């Protein structure tokens, strides 16, 4: 599998650029906060300092990128690897968005099944079975025994 890489220079320069943009927006918002007096400093004082630090750090990043040799690269995943990674991210997003609706146990079961399917070559049904077992054990351990409060579905489990 050939690996695809982006140059470190580009990466750092763009990160630094984004950082500068972020610090500009942040400072703009911070300047609207009250500053107070010297003997009663307000909420805006510290964010302004932080914005300044962010700006400085962004410039350091840009400089780092500028200095970097043109040949230095950062490996990015390609092909199957990249697809798997994206699927994982999508699964996580699905899991977290369905959790409040389906309740913890149900969405965990679905998530575990799909994740197992992604990571292994087991058939879907077997994944679902194992996932149910895993979810059950976790449920007993943490939700039933330790009474950790998690979102529930209408079935309240």
Does 115 engage in binding with other proteins (CB under 8 A)? yes
Does 131 engage in binding with other proteins (CB under 8 A)? yes
Find residue 7's DSSP bridge partners.
Answer: 73
Name the CA dihedral angle for 52, 53, 59, 60, rounded to a multiple of 10 degrees: 160
Select from 4, 21, 100, 144 the one that contacts other proteins (CB under 8 A). 100
Does 134 engage in binding with other proteins (CB under 8 A)? yes
CA distance 17 to 60: 11
x-marked contacts with other proteins along 55-94 as a string, rule CB under 8 A: -xxx-xx-xx---------xxxx--xxx-xx--xx--xx-
Does 35 engage in binding with other proteins (CB under 8 A)? no
Q: Number of residues in contact with other proteins, rule: CB under 8 A?
A: 76
Does 110 engage in binding with other proteins (CB under 8 A)? no
Query: Angle of helix 104-119 relative to helix 79-102, nearest 10 degrees?
Result: 170
Instruction: Please name which of 156, 43, 153, 34 lies closest in space to residue 98, comparing C-alpha atoms.
Output: 153
Does 26 engage in binding with other proteins (CB under 8 A)? yes
Does 108 engage in binding with other proteins (CB under 8 A)? yes
Strand locations in the chain, DSSP E? Answer: 4-7, 36-37, 40-41, 73-76
Select from 24, 35, 95, 106 the one that contacts other proteins (CB under 8 A). 95
Does 104 engage in binding with other proteins (CB under 8 A)? yes
Report whether 74 contacts 11 (CB < 8 A): yes
Does 9 engage in binding with other proteins (CB under 8 A)? no
Least distance from other proteins to the Cβ atom of residue 155, Å: 18
The CA-based angle 12-50-28, given to 5 degrees, is 90
Our CB check for other proteins shows the closer of 91 and 155 to be 91
């Amino acid at each position: 599998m050939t690996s695809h890489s982006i140059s470190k220079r580009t990466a750092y320069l763009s990160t630094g650029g984004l950082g500068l943009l972020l610090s500009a927006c942040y400072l703009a918002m911070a300047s609207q906060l009250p500053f107070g007096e010297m003997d009663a400093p307000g909420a805006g004082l510290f964010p302004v300092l932080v914005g300044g630090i962010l700006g400085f750090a962004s410039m350091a990043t840009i400089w780092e990128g500028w200095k970097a040799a043109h040949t230095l690269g950062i490996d990015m995943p390609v092909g199957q690897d990249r697809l798997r990674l994206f699927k994982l991210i999508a699964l996580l997003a699905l899991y977290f968005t369905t959790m409040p609706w389906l309740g913890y146990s149900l969405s965990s079961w679905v998530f575990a099944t799909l994740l197992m399917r992604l990571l292994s070559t087991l058939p879907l049904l077997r994944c679902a079975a194992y996932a149910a077992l895993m979810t059950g054990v976790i449920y007993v351990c943490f939700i039933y025994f330790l009474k950790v409060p998690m979102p529930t579905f209408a079935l309240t489990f």
